[in-house]
Amino acid sequence: MKNNLQNNKALEKKIDWQNVKNEMREKFGNEIFESWIKKIELVEEFHNYILFSVSTRFIRDWIVSRYLDQILGIIKEYKKDLVRIEFTIKDNKDTEIKESNVSTQNSIETNNDNVSFIKDSYLQYNRIDPNKNFENFITGGSNKLAFEASKKVSKDIAHYNPLYLYGGVGMGKTHLLNAIGLELKEKNKVMFISAERFMYQFVKSLKSNEMVKFKEYFRNTDILLIDDIQFMNGKEAMQEEFFHTFNALLDKNSQIIISADRPPNKLSRIQERIKSRFSGGLVVDIQNPDYELRYKIIKSKTEELKLSYSNQVVISEEIQKFLSTEIKTSIRELVGALNRIVSFTRIYNKVPSLSEVKIVLKDLLNLTENKVDIDTIQTIVCKFYKISKNEMLSPRRSRYLVRPRQTAIYLAKMLTSKSLPEIGRSFSNRDHTTVIHSVKTIDRLRKEDSELNVNIDSLKNKILYNKENEV
């Protein structure tokens, strides 16, 4: 009895939100914290669930897209049983917020027994975002076909099955998958998941002997949307399960929509029979946005930001055209550049000039111009440390190899838009945790070792300005 009481008290213990915020300030730095993280307010805390609020949808979307995994990781240090966090938009009417909280709590309590294991992930949610719909997807020549095909699928299930969308990072693939799911979720069972999360759930199911649950969960859905399918590369057991799930869904006329960064025939270390299934549906590419599309996006996002900040944001047409001209690689980078300018405007309380914009975006403009890639980073770092690339990519852990390898990984994280798993794969399929460790190590050493700090800055400049021959 006494033990039960103690356990109940432990469950009731609430996190110290002020301590969490202090740690997040240290983690993200003062600028990011003041601009974004500080705006998060704790609304309600449950046993394994926390509800936060922010003032606008834009702030919520920005935090979710950029910082959510890191925030969750910090909070889990204080609340080990946490399985998900969610955000609500702050309402001026306190009663409405309270009602919403009660409803959420009742829902959790009522459905607790029916919560699927699939929800018990590092970040739990079915990824459908109500703000990423067809209405706010801006179209142009580069993405018109993908947009129309997605609209068609959302109106006529199994018309194009599977639908396979591919294109570079930040081109709008995830937005389109989300829009399809949003259109269909009212009348259908919709599952929107990344390939990495699919892999996580697969491995977890194997370890806990719950493969039957796993199979049932995915094969009973009506609409399966999988983002970044290329991350399944090399995972034979998972590919085998995915293949059978894929066939089971097709047999019952469920709709499958897939996104990737390359066409099916270019997928590396993916079973040929899976690539064949992908190619058997409608394959549509999303190309780099042309100037007209980039300008439309900048105009639209600027208007959104004005509304979010009560018309306090002023971005001149000259700057809008400059961004549309100079940043060509991806829509995500384009929007990211605009957000950086907005942050500058709000921090310094002034309308930026074109010359100030160039300074704020100096690294991004250099990256855009020179198209920095991981291979270039590896080559330059290897030359600097007088080692071969084969040595750097080898499993050997000699000190004279570890530091250059960590340096190259650090620079890849700082100077490219590649995800942690992508960086890991470029370094002989190292795990993303290795990438995180390397970045943290170099971050720490730069503060302790002035010589290393100078070397990092020197390497960064050589890479950005493509001066490999000067190493």
Which three-class secondary structure string do you get for the chain?
CHHHHHHHHHHHCCCCHHHHHHHHHHHHCHHHHHHCHHHCEEEEECCCEEEEEECCHHHHHHHHHHHHHHHHHHHHHHCCCCCEEEEEECCCCHHHHHHHHHHHHHHHHHHHHHCCHHHCCCCCCCCCCCCCCCCCCCCCCCCHHHHHHHHHHHHCCCCCCCEEEEECCCCCHHHHHHHHHHHHCCCCCEEEEEHHHHHHHHHHHHHCCCHHHHHHHHHCCCEEEEECHHHHCCCHHHHHHHHHHHHHHHHCCCEEEEEECCCHHHCCCCCHHHHHHHHCCEEEEECCCCHHHHHHHHHHHHHHHHHHCCCCCCCCHHHHHHHHHHCCCCHHHHHHHHHHHHHHHHHHCCCCCHHHHHHHCHHHHHHHHHCCCHHHHHHHHHHHHCCCHHHHHCCCCCHHHHHHHHHHHHHHHHHCCCCHHHHHHHCCCCCHHHHHHHHHHHHHHHHHCHHHHHHHHHHHHHHHCCCHHHC
All domains of the chain in start order, with CATH: 2-115 (3.30.300.180), 144-286 (3.40.50.300), 291-369 (1.10.8.60), 372-470 (1.10.1750.10)
* Amino acid at the residue 363: D
| Tokens representing residue 179 in the block | 């829009």
pLDDT at position 198 is 84
Contacts 24+ apart (CB under 8 A), 109-114: none
pLDDT at position 95 is 35
Q: Spell out the residues 6+ positions from residue 242 whose beta carbon is closer than 8 angstroms to its own.
A: 198, 232, 274
Task: Find out whether 334 and 290 touch, Cβ atoms under 8 Å.
Answer: no
Does pTM top 0.85 for this prediction?
Answer: no
Please tell me the distance from the alpha carbon of residue 173 to that of residue 175, in angstroms, as a whole number: 5
pLDDT at position 164 is 95
Could you list the pLDDT tens digit for every one of the 471 residues in the chain?
444 444 444 444 578 888 888 888 888 888 788 888 888 888 888 767 788 888 887 787 778 767 777 788 888 878 777 767 777 877 544 433 333 333 333 333 333 333 333 343 333 345 677 788 899 899 988 899 999 999 999 887 767 889 999 988 888 898 999 999 989 888 888 888 888 888 878 888 888 887 888 888 888 888 999 998 988 887 888 889 899 989 999 888 899 999 998 899 888 888 999 999 999 999 999 988 888 899 999 998 888 887 777 666 778 888 899 888 888 777 888 888 898 888 888 888 888 888 888 888 877 776 444 567 899 999 999 998 889 999 999 988 888 899 999 999 999 988 887 888 889 899 998 888 889 999 999 988 888 887 888 888 888 877 875 544 444
Q: Spell out the residues 6+ positions from residue 292 whose beta carbon is closer than 8 angstroms to its own.
A: 140, 141
HSE toward the beta carbon, residue 286, CA cutoff 13 A? 32
Please tell me the distance from the alpha carbon of residue 423 to that of residue 288, in angstroms, as a whole number: 22
pLDDT at position 104 is 34
pLDDT at position 382 is 92
